[in-house]
Amino acid sequence: MSVLGKPAIDPSPGPASAGPASPGPASAEPASASPATGSGATPTTGSRGRDKAALALTFAAAAARYWLSVYPHVLREARHWRRRAERIPDPTLCRLALSTQRQERGNLEGAAAFAVLAPRPQRARVVRAVVAFQAIYDYVDTLAEQPSANPAENGRQLHRALLSALDPGPGHPGTVHLDYYVHSLHREDGGYLQGLIDACRTAFGALPAHASLTAPAQGAVRRIVTFQGLAHGDEDGHEDTWRAFSDWAEAQTPQGGGLRWWETAAGAASSLLVFALIAAAAEPSVSDEDTSAIARAYFPWIGALHLLLDSLIDRKDDVQAGRYSLVEHYASPRELAGRLGAITAEALRAARALPHGEQHELILAAMASFYLTQPAASSPAGALARAEILATLGERAVPTMCLFRVRARRRGRRRESL
């Protein structure tokens, strides 16, 4: 993630404030009544059977849409950008671009899952926009972790490419771009980054409701850019840099939600709200109320769970490399589990209230399952959080966990055969 050093001040507040995201310590055993049920009443056997059948039907329909009308576009886009990366003239940038694409392939596939929310005629455009946006994010995040004379400005300037990618006004191929590499040691990319930006802005600009979704999408990206500038700010973890980071995140925190500042910061750094808004732009009749509901669900709740899980999986590597880790703020695995379980419950409630709520819930479950099937999620530091999140997700996670386990086994067999 970032290169901000360990805090020079104690970043942990006292006991969490009261609120829906502030439960007591997590238990190693799943709770008898998960927050995901949405009710304290015990469902009957018949209602559980109907719920399972409805969930299976929803999952089957979404899976069919993804594999038949989305995934083929993902393959084409990934192949196209791999070939573009292979032509980058600077050998360092070429190596970084190709390794990032290879290591973060799951991010591209996950981003494309939002295309199942779009009408079929618009899915190819949504896939192109979200895959390009995520590829930009992964690439510039990798570059921001490379040595620079000014890490903070380097991080901010590189991540401004994300703002350009969602600016369809003047955005046509050939439009003059910022010098995103101005603070970087390497810059000759053969038009690779500009090509990604143009692909995203052109596809987004062709969606029916892009004009009404541009402002909220740009607002989400500005939070990403600010987070990355602050998180990449100071390798020595100086107190003023750390305070600026925490002050900014606290100012973004919704009142009454009980979130800690680094949890809000996690939500701000997530790209999932951007993908949800791009998918919504494919609907000609999307309303302002729907747009606001999407924004409230994904920031901070769903986005916070996303980035905290990402940080949990990367924790060992981040600590060894001296990089900032969001989950290092928690005092113990039990505290981490309690917080992630509570955030998961709030994320589920927010997703359920959205238009196409069942599909947003499935996307949430799939995102969590992607991380929870990684080996690091079963480590001593992550096992309690994994159990708590799965208990909260309940039946929703069963098909997605199975899917990612099968894919992990297949990848393992392919590696063994090489």
**Between vectors from CA 414 to CA 77 and to CA 95, what angle results, nearest 5°?**
50
pLDDT category of residue 323 using cuts at 50, 70 and 90: confident
pLDDT value, residue 15: 35
11 falls within a domain: no
Give yes or no for residue 71 having a pLDDT over 50. yes
What's the pLDDT score for residue 43?
Answer: 55
Identify whether 17 is part of a domain. Answer: no
Domain assignment of residue 240, given as a range: 45-417
pLDDT tier at 407 (50, 70, 90 boundaries)?
confident
What pTM was estimated for this model as a whole? 0.86
- Of 233 and 135, which is predicted with more confidence? 135
* Higher pLDDT among residues 196 and 228, named by residue: 196
Say what the pLDDT of residue 11 is. 38
10 is a domain residue:
no
Residue 345 falls within a domain, yes or no?
Answer: yes
What's residue 343's pLDDT?
A: 98
So what's the pLDDT on residue 229?
Answer: 85
**Is 13 a domain residue?**
no
Q: What digits encode the pLDDT tens for the residues 141-170?
A: 999 999 999 988 999 999 999 999 998 765
- pLDDT for residue 410: 78
Question: Could you tell me the pLDDT band of residue 16, with boundaries at 50, 70 and 90?
Answer: very low
User: Does residue 29 fall inside a structural domain?
Assistant: no
Q: Mind listing the pLDDT tens digit for each residue in 325-365?
A: 999 999 999 999 999 999 999 999 999 999 999 999 999 99
Whether 135 is covered by a domain: the verdict is yes
The pLDDT score that the predictor gives to residue 13 is: 39
CATH number reported for the structural domain that contains residue 373 in this entry: 1.10.600
Is 27 part of any domain?
A: no
- Calculate the average pLDDT of the chain: 87
Count structural domains, the chain: 1
pLDDT at 4: 40
